[in-house]
Amino acid sequence: MKFGIDRLLTEPSLRAPLKGKRVALLAHPASVTSDLTHSFDALAALDDINITAAFGPQHGLRGDKQDNMMESPDFTDPVHGVPVFSLYGEVRRPTGQSMGTFDVILIDMQDLGCRIYTFITTLLYMLEAAAEHGKSVWVLDRPNPAGRPVEGLTLLPGWESFVGAGPIPMRHGLTLGELGQWFIDHYKIDVDYHVVAMEGYQPDAAPGYGWPADRLWINPSPNAPNINMARAYAGTVMLEGTTLSEGRGTTRPLEIFGAPDIDARAVIAEMRRFAPQWLTGCTLREIWFEPTFHKHVHSLCHGVHIHAEGAAYDHQAFRPWRVQALAFKAIRSLYPDYDLWRDFPYEYEFGKLAIDVINGGPGLREWVDRDGSTADELDAVTGPDEEAWVTDRRPYLLY
């Protein structure tokens, strides 16, 4: 199969409309071709495309920033001599000055298929800016490594943020190109929009279920190291709103969780007792780990590794958001007074708990903290959101 960037490079007819135009690129470290050449370099090497600017999202064009809320500066690319504008520095939205450097912007970013992953918000902001300034937007489409499954509560009105671009569930099951068209229709954005679709993409095909087996994985952000993480991320990202370690400072970030003051074996047992039906499709393994930075740095943590891989993995059955919600509920049941929710500004949102910003509302936290709440109660409020999204997104599926 071919990703959008590879089709653009190998099919001159696709890029013919770019002739004579000033072209910009929005990309990050995973924006590579099939032979692992960075898209910036590959496009700049073409005689019929004039690259005049580049943009970098959170973590930077080069992926140089490790943690959240670590900003990247603007700079001039030393190889190609064009300005590189940061969309996670002094600004989140493109400025008028930066929008004046191009006619068409190519967006080539590897997404993880999760509402909270900020690249989709950057896509939305670029679409809005392009509409305002009369620019064209082309998305060079890439796979959604989490595949087509849908899961999680829909973001509530008033909870929009840089990690909540719109009323969609946590795991949306769309590619970036598909999601861009949904944004345009939902927000009524009047913009010239094109998707260079993938060729031969089969999102439901084993063994990758969204990620082709013959394509190497490149971290789209520093703590996105593999497919297992991408599959688990719609659940494990909630750990960023808690006092539990999500494994930053280890070699398996956002696949694991733990803390020095929990009994992980007891947590797993309670998860299996409370809602065993939510654990199908994955394997939980008791682990010990010591983060070298971030939460619980240099402290031995007892934790759990969520394996969405191997013989036990069931792509359709695995529900990472519920698995992680279940872990929180188990900890609350075992340790009623546990200081679980982290109180700090999350992605520049003040006055709201981080876990609520992440979930686009307080519903998940309230369910965890409420005595006597059941798995069926969470399913009852989440299921209709998921079913509605499956229907709403159907017209946007390109594959």
Is the same domain home to 89 and 200?
Answer: yes
Q: Which two tokens stand for residue 95?
A: 């400025």
User: Closest by alpha carbon to 203, among 212, 213, 190, 214?
Assistant: 212
* pLDDT single digits (tens) 358-386: 999 999 999 999 999 999 999 999 999 99
Q: Is residue 385 part of a domain?
A: no
DSSP state of 154: P
* pLDDT single digits (tens) 135-158: 999 999 999 999 999 999 999 999
Q: What is the DSSP track for 238-298?
A: GGGGBSSB-STTSSSTTTEEEETTS-HHHHHHHHHHH-GGGGTTSEEEEEEE--SSSTTTT
Domain encompassing residue 242: 227-375
* pLDDT single digits (tens) 44-80: 999 999 999 999 999 888 766 555 556 678 999 999 9
Is the same domain home to 333 and 284?
Answer: yes
Q: Is residue 387 part of a domain?
A: no
Q: Is residue 210 part of a domain?
A: yes
Predicted TM-score of the model (pTM): 0.95
User: Residue 179 maps to which CATH number?
Assistant: 3.40.50.12170
How many structural domains comprise the chain?
2
Is the same domain home to 139 and 236?
Answer: no
User: Residue 347 maps to which CATH number?
Assistant: 3.90.1150.140
The CA angle 165-168-171, to the nearest 5 degrees, is 105
Start-to-end CA distance of the chain, whole Å, equals 12
- Contact criterion met (CB below 8 Å) for 286 and 265: yes
Report the C-alpha gap between 81 and 126 in whole angstroms: 23
Q: Is residue 276 part of a domain?
A: yes
If you count DSSP H runs as helices and E runs as strands, how many of each does the chain have, helices first? 12, 10
